[in-house]
Structure 1
Amino acid sequence: MFRCKEMFSALALVAPFVLGVVGGLGTVAVSMSPSSAMARSFAPDLCIATGVDTGNGRGGCVYAGPNAPVFDGEVCWNGDVATVKGTAPCVDGSRVYFLRNGEVVDPDLNIVAAYAVVPDACKFMSCVPSSFESQGLPDDLACCGDNGCVPSVGGSCPEGEPTWCTQLEKTDDGLICHQD
């Protein structure tokens, strides 16, 4: 019996490192070094946690299409400007946030343009390839909902959800989205 308890104790010690039994084939041990572990931020999302629709985006982020650049890191947000966090804590009343989509627009000051990605408008409305003759509306947002799609008003959607269109055109038949 004593020998069984020792084996049980040894198993209890290595249990945290065992993934489990797969189809009765045995166990797999996992060993991760710090260099092989992927970093994951537990900071709140900048586009969600800093507010709702602000007229041209969500929270500290401006609306962008599905092909927006991926930043996938932490930024410091002071309520107006996002900067690359780096290894030091945020300063001057800034708070740390996670940012999925964005890009560094001023490398000297580490300023980041933050993007709130919205769905492609072509999922909700008629889309055609871009042409030079089309006269697009000034912004790239269409507000789509249960009642169809309408142009955004000053970059915000009073009704429906914001969607991205490369060039939005108002025609006699309604809205047409011209995509690249």
Structure 2
Amino acid sequence: MEFYVGNTRVKVSFWFLWALTLFVLLDRSFIVLPLFGTILLHEGVHLLVLRLCGAKVCGCELHLYGVRLSCDLYTLSRVRRAAVYLSAPVCNLLIGGILYLYDPMIIFGVYNLVIGAYNLIPIPPLDGGNAARALGRSRAAKAACSLVSLLCLGAAFAGAIWLVWAYHNWTLLACALYLLAVLLKGGEEAL
């Protein structure tokens, strides 16, 4: 499915709609709305900061594995590119932190904390990895980023094993395996 919002082309893949429909139909706890709201907030902040930095956004594609924005990102300076990447996870962490302090049981706040922290992992195509790639051009910066990536991935696998053992929840393990595959492939920059 494809449509336009102003001059911006929005493309929604069949698999995104399939997964969203399946999730809505199977969701008995009504967590899909706060999760979808968190994702919309995250991508909306990226769009806002892109526009504020002067980048032209040509398209937005919603896939099973995430959202990809088509824009002239490389016309921006390295610092502005890093700001675009970091703006959304920082916004998620701020909103999540405020809501968590107000009431730790607000699921929208918990989702914002999780999405913000996850996206700061320094492995492209996550925002943290893309920001590190935009800012760190030296050999020492790349080595430090690789070390932090491996530590984060190790923590993700440890948490995933605990979640599978304690709650039979395979979500974090799937995410950690995906990140490992991306890291082994060399990562790709995405927004």
| TM-score normalized by the length of structure 1 | 0.23
Structure with the bigger percentage of strand: 1
Bigger fraction of residues in helix: 2
Larger radius of gyration: 1
TM-score (ref. length: structure 2) = 0.22
